[in-house]
C-alpha cells in the first residue's frame, strides 16, 4: 500500500566525522558554528524559498517622523487615502493601523481613518515598525532540547508554541528561540528548521545546524526516510488498523482550514494507523491510536480522522462528520480539562547526516495529555463491549476507510455534509503545521510492538483484534 520511496543516500562526510550517535536522549554542550558553508542558502522540502532567516526581514529601528500640511487640492479627502497617496512606500492598510494606534495626529489630535481633512491642517505621523519585522530576531524562547551535536538538534516542542513566524504569531516562535540559542543559525534558511508541527501539537522536531545537514535532512524528508510516529486520542471505536487514503487541500468554502478535496487541488495523502486500545466514555467511546504518515500535508492526521468519523479529542476545528450518510461522532464531557487536539509526535527516527547511522528518539506525552490518558484508564478497562456499540467491520473497507452501512445508518443524527469533495502549507500550528513526510518504519515493525507508548504498553495489542479490551 505504500508508495515506493525515492532513492536516498547520505551526503558524503569526511572520515573524521562524528563517531557514533547514541539512540537514547542526550544533552550535549552547544557547539559554536563556524562552517563557511552557512553563508549559502538551500530551500527545504515543501516550503517557500525565502532566503536566510536573518536577511529576509530584518528588524527595524524607530523610523523618522513624517509631516504633511493639507493643501486646497486635498481639502475634504479621507485621512487614510490622503496619506496613502502621499506616502506610497507604505500600504494603506499599514497607515490605517497607525491611525488606529494613535501614531497619526491631525493638529495634535488623533483622528479616524475615514475622517475628512481640512485645508491648512498639519498631519504628524510617527511610522511604526510592522509586527513581521520582528519575525527573524533572536528571542529568549525556552526550548526543550533533547539531543544536540554539531550537525543537528532535536527538540520536544510543547503545545502552544508556534514553529515559524506567520500572521498573528510574528514573535515568540521556535525560530526566534533558535536564533537566540544558536546565533550562527541566522545564516541558515529558517534557522535550520526543516519541518513543522501545528501550534497545539506537541512532540519531537529535528533542526539542522549546518547547511549540509539541512540539505541532507530535506532529502530524507523527500525520500521518506525520516520516520515520525504520533499518538492520538480520537472519538469512537476505530478499526484495529488501517490506512486512510484521501486527498487533502484547502477547503474552498473556508480557506482557514483544510479538507478532503477530490479535485486537482487536493494532494495525495495517506495516514497509516493502528488502534492500541478503546474505552467507553459515557454514551461514547475513545480510541487510543498510533499514526504514521506516508505523506505530509497540513493538518493531515486531524483532517483524515475527521473524515472517517473519528475526530481527535479537543480539536476545535476538525470535529464534524464529513461523509454523506455518516453519523457524527458522539462527543461527551472529558474526565479532565483538555483544551487542544490530543495529538503528540512521540517518536522521531532518521539517518544521521554525518554518520549515516539510523538514530531515533522518543518523548513521553506532556502532562496535560498524560493526565487525560490516565483519566481514561485504558489499561484498567476490562469490560466487555456492548452488542449495540460493538465495532461493525462491515462499515469499513480493507484499508480501514469508512464506507457506511449498518441498520441504523439513517437514524437520528445525520451528518453535516460540509466537507466531502472539497479543497498545504502553512507550519504551526500549524501547524502549524504537521508538515510530515513519513511512511511506516519497517525497522520498528517488531521491536516497536513491545515498547511503552505514553505509559501504556503497545506490545500485545495486535491488529487482528486481540489488542482490544
CA dist 236 and 228 (Å) reads 24
Q: Are 398 and 128 in contact (CB under 8 A)?
A: no
User: In this predicted model, which residue has the larger pLDDT, 265 or 10?
Assistant: 265
Question: Residues with catalytic annotation?
Answer: 198
Q: Which CATH number fits domain 132-223: 3.40.50.300, 3.20.20.70, 3.90.190.20, 3.30.2350.10?
A: 3.30.2350.10
pTM above 0.75, yes or no: no
* CATH topology assigned to domain 66-128: 3.10.290
* CATH topology assigned to domain 224-380+388-402: Pseudouridine synthase (3.30.2350)
Q: Where in the chain is the domain with CATH 3.10.290.10?
A: 66-128
Helix (H) or strand (E) holding 374: helix 367-376
Q: Are 103 and 126 in contact (CB under 8 A)?
A: yes
Q: Is 389 helix (H, G, I), strand (E, B) or coil?
A: coil
pLDDT in tens, 89-147: 888 888 998 999 899 999 999 999 999 999 999 999 998 876 666 678 899 999 999 99
Instruction: Say yes or no to pLDDT of 49 above 80.
Output: no
Q: Is 278 helix (H, G, I), strand (E, B) or coil?
A: strand
Q: Where in the chain is the domain with CATH 3.30.2350.10?
A: 132-223, 224-380+388-402
User: In this predicted model, which residue has the larger pLDDT, 66 or 295?
Assistant: 66
pLDDT in tens, 174-213: 999 999 999 999 889 899 999 999 999 999 999 999 999 9
Which cell is 4 given?
Answer: 515506493
pLDDT at 322: 61
SS (H, E, C) 39-101: HCCCCCCCCCCCCCCCCCCCCCCCCCCEEEECCHHHCCCEHHHHHHHHCCCCCHHHHHHHHHH
CA dist 445 and 307 (Å) reads 27
Amino acid at each position: 500500500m505504500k508508495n515506493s520511496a525515492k532513492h536516498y543516500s547520505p551526503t558524503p562526510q569526511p572520515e573524521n566525522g562524528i563517531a557514533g550517535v547514541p539512540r537514547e536522549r542526550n544533552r550535549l554542550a552547544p557547539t559554536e558554528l563556524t562552517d563557511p558553508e552557512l553563508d549559502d542558502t538551500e530551500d527545504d522540502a515543501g516550503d517557500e524559498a525565502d532566503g536566510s532567516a536573518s536577511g529576509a526581514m530584518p528588524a527595524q529601528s524607530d523610523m523618522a517622523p513624517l509631516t504633511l500640511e493639507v493643501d486646497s487640492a486635498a481639502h475634504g479627502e479621507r485621512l487614510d487615502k490622503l496619506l496613502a497617496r502621499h506616502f506610497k512606500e507604505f500600504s494603506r492598510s499599514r497607515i490605517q493601523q497607525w491611525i488606529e494606534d494613535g501614531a497619526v495626529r491631525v493638529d495634535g489630535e488623533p483622528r479616524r481613518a475615514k475622517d475628512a481633512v481640512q485645508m491648512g491642517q498639519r498631519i504628524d505621523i510617527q511610522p511604526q515598525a510592522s509586527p513581521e519585522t520582528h519575525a527573524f530576531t533572536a528571542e529568549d524562547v525556552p526550548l526543550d532540547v533533547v539531543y544536540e551535536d554539531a550537525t543537528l538538534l532535536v527538540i520536544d516542542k510543547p503545545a502552544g508554541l508556534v514553529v515559524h513566524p506567520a500572521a498573528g504569531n510574528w514573535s515568540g516562535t521556535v525560530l526566534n528561540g533558535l536564533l537566540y540559542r544558536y546565533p550562527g543559525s541566522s545564516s541558515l534558511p529558517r534557522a535550520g528548521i526543516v519541518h513543522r508541527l501545528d501550534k497545539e501539537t506537541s512532540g519531537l522536531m529535528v533542526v539542522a545546524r549546518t547547511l549540509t545537514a539541512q540539505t541532507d535532512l530535506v532529502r530524507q524528508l523527500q525520500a521518506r526516510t525520516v520516520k515520525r510516529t504520533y499518538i492520538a486520542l480520537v472519538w469512537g471505536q476505530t478499526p484495529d488498523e488501517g490506512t486512510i487514503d484521501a486527498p487533502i487541500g484547502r477547503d474552498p468554502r473556508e480557506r482557514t482550514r483544510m479538507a478532503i478535496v477530490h479535485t486537482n487541488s487536493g494532494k495525495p495523502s495517506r495516514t497509516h494507523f493502528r488502534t492500541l486500545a478503546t474505552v467507553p466514555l459515557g454514551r461514547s467511546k475513545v480510541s487510543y491510536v498510533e499514526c504514521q504518515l506516508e505523506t505530509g500535508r497540513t493538518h493531515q492526521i486531524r483532517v483524515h480522522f475527521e473524515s472517517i468519523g473519528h475526530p481527535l479529542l479537543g480539536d476545535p476545528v476538525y470535529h464534524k462528520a464529513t461523509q454523506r450518510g455518516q453519523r457524527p461522532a458522539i462527543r461527551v464531557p472529558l474526565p479532565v480539562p483538555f483544551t487542544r487536539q490530543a495529538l503528540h509526535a512521540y517518536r522521531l527516527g532518521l539517518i544521521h547526516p554525518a554518520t549515516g547511522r539510523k538514530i531515533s528518539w522518543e518523548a513521553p506525552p506532556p502532562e496535560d495529555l498524560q493526565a487525560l490518558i490516565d483519566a481514561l484508564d485504558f489499561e484498567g478497562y476490562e469490560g466487555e463491549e456492548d452488542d449495540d456499540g460493538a465495532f461493525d467491520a462491515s462499515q469499513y473497507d480493507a484499508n480501514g476507510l469508512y464506507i457506511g452501512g449498518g441498520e441504523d445508518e439513517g437514524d437520528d443524527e445525520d451528518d453535516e455534509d460540509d466537507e466531502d469533495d472539497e479543497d498545504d502549507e502553512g507550519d504551526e500550528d500549524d501547524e502549524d503545521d504537521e508538515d510530515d513526510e513519513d511512511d511506516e518504519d519497517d525497522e520498528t515493525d517488531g521491536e516497536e510492538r513491545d515498547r511503552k507508548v505514553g505509559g501504556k504498553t503497545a506490545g500485545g495489542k495486535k491488529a487482528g483484534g486481540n489488542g482490544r479490551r
